[in-house]
Amino acid sequence: MKNLIIASTSTLHKDGYLDYILDELTVFFKDAPSILFIPYARPSGISYEQYTQKVAEAFAKIDKTVKGIHEFENPIEGIKNAQAIFVGGGNTFVLTHQLYKNNLIGVLQTAIKNGIPYLGTSAGSNICGLTIKTTNDMPIVYPPSFNALAAVPFNINPHYLDPDTNSKHMGETRETRIQEFHNFNTPPVVGLREGSWLHVHGNSIILKGHLNARIFEHNKTPYEVETGTELNHLK
């Protein structure tokens, strides 16, 4: 039975890393003393070791130990033996490239189907969708495929931003970019605002957090859903 938290972000303004969601994670990871961390997305180009240390410090607050997948001679075995998995944010193309390079897409999908608790933030959430085509990141590397884990039957846009009428920015809004995606693709897209997450438990997909999410379906007007809404209808 699937058991995932798919969060828009790891950090809210002025909060520490994962602080805003630690209470939720205490319950989510209650049966997992140790968490396998996948640091492949490398935000700002930091090393795997630096990233893993940052995550370990956050999870120490709820008495969890953390080991980075790069510490395993065989990363496939690391996932197969994991009690829980966390895939952090950074660049989604870099993350996806490394997952394919290390032949981890299939083994991650199997772990998720088997009910291993999976937490994703930002890039780690992007890869839970059908593809990574709705990421906000620059394609600084070229993965073999844009196909992702397909843990949910739609795409995700973490860090979703509403248009700012006071901004001097003249580029595309997030909504415009997602509508461009729908000129060539049909899967729905969930725009996750900061501080919101999806809790997937079995066949249930529920929006959590304090903010609404914006839903984009092919050939339909975008609409808002409130926290607590089931999103199983999106296919």
Q: Which residues are catalytic?
A: 122, 137, 159
- Tell me the DSSP string of 176-200: HHHHHHTTT--S-EEEPPTTEEEEE
Name the 3-class secondary structure at 61. coil
- Helices vs. strands in the chain: H and E counts, helices first: 7, 11
Find the angle CA(13)-CA(127)-CA(172) to the nearest 5 degrees: 60
| Structure-block tokens of residue 142 | 């070229």
One-letter amino acid of 142? Y
Burial letters for 52-71: b for 16+ Cβ neighbours within 10 Å, e otherwise?
A: bebbbebbeeeebebebbbe
Pairwise CA distance, residues 84 & 66, whole Å:
10
